[in-house]
Amino acid sequence: MARVLIVGAGLTGAVSACLLRRELQKACSIVVWDKARGAGGRMSTSRCPEDPQCTADLGAQYVSATRDYAQSHASFYDDLLGAGVLRPLSAPMDGDRSDPTTSHYVAPAGISSVVKHFLKQADAEVHFGHQVSEIREQRGPGAGKWHVVAQNGTEAEFDAVVLTMPVPQILGLAGVKALLEDQSAQLSQLQRASYSSRYALALYFSPGTRLDTPWAAKYVNGDPCVRFLSVDSRKRGLDGPEVSPALVVHTGVPFGLKHIDQTLSEVQPIIMQHLQDVLPGLPEPISIKCQKWRYSQVHKPVEGSPGSLVVSSRPPLVLGGDAFSHSNFDGCIESALSVVSQVKQLLTTKS
């Protein structure tokens, strides 16, 4: 039985694991490692430390399906809608400029529930707190496998490895760049990929706190810091006196770029000041969380948006993620489809 390691429990990694299970069923053992404490990646949902019922989506806010992707990825949307993981966005959104034929969906249980749904279907062995530090080809006994080392000391061998984290993190792995140095065209492709950066802020409030806004989400124009606001519970269709609301703030990309090397404690007060200017008179939150998204969205994808990239055929090492397509739900699906096609072919050829 082939052992496959998928590094990254974000959307691309989760869907890759799910599709690999469907394709190979019991013919492979699927293991997922992620450095974080939970699933989601940039589709993460954060809980208030004082009130676990109060949650906020700090990364992706909703899922948007263009008419074309609604058709080509219908099986994914039907699955998520049928399971109640997604439902149509019905709350008012101010400043949305998307095509009127585009459909928007929210996750009532938080956007990370989308990723968790696919991981559950994958029946994978998932380990959090596992940050990969080195990948090298096994020599001697067990040759033809990858030996993978995590920073926490975990070491294991796998027949195939899929890396789905942001490209700069892939290039920073011991062993990977050495492999790519013999493939200068691929290395150059990867080095040219770039990302935008931004900060996110979640303000958590006590149950029944009223946030008097006519919208559930709003795109802000004219402020040098604040670009997007969301009353998170209202966006998901949850409102009422028993609800613990949360307000999510996303900064603009220029602000993120300017302050990217500052600490969270330095940046949080700056964002709060701008928030007071944009939305004065806010109630006092019971907790605040600031998040830096160094790799927020793909600014320049890998040339040709190939979906995936095979670094090694024997043993298989495949790269995937939104940098190989584009930064949204459907881009991650496209990448996962490409990844699984490559891994299946390479494992079949190997056997």
Q: Is residue 276 included in any domain, yes or no?
A: no
| Cα 40 from Cα 119, distance rounded (Å) | 10
* Residue 161, domain member (yes or no): yes
| Residue 339 lies in domain | 2-44+111-193+302-350
What is the C-alpha separation between 244 and 222, in angstroms, rounded? Answer: 30
Q: What's the burial of 33, exposed, middle or buried (CB within 10 Å: 0-12/13-18/19+)? A: buried
* pLDDT greater than 90 at residue 309: yes
Question: Does the structure show a pLDDT above 90 at 238?
Answer: no
CB 106 within 8 A of CB 235: yes
Burial of 199 (0-12, 13-18, 19+ CB in 10 A): buried
Q: Please give the structure tokens belonging to residue 48.
A: 């208030």
Strands (E), the chain: 2-7, 28-34, 45-48, 51-57, 63-65, 87-88, 93-94, 103-106, 125-128, 132-137, 146-150, 155-158, 160-163, 194-204, 217-219, 226-231, 246-251, 287-300, 308-312, 317-320
| Structural domain contains residue 279 | no
What confidence tens digit (pLDDT) does each residue in 23-64 have? 999 999 999 999 999 999 999 999 999 999 899 999 999 999
> Which neighbouring-strand residues pair with 2?
28
Instruction: Give the pLDDT band (50/70/90) at residue 351.
Output: low
Query: Does 171 fall in a domain?
Result: yes
Read off the CATH number of the domain in which 140 is found.
3.50.50.60
* Phi, then psi, of 334 in degrees rounded to 5: -60, -45
What's the predicted TM-score (pTM) here? 0.96
10 lies in a domain?
Answer: yes
% of the chain with per-residue pLDDT over 70:
99
d(CA 295, CA 198): 8
| Greatest Cα pair distance in the chain | 67
Residue 6 corresponds to which tokens in the numbers above? 């998928």
- Reduce the DSSP state of residue 156 to 3 states and report it: strand
State the average pLDDT for the chain: 96
- d(CA 89, CA 80) in angstroms, rounded, equals 14
185 within a domain of the structure (yes/no): yes
Does the pLDDT at position 5 exceed 60? yes
CA 216/CA 233 separation, integer angstroms: 8
Tokens 């099986």: give the residue.
75
77: which 2 tokens? 């949307």
Determine, yes or no, domain membership for 120. yes
Of 59-63, 93-97, 162-166, 266-270, which gets the smallest average pLDDT?
Answer: 93-97
Give the total number of structural domains in the chain.
1
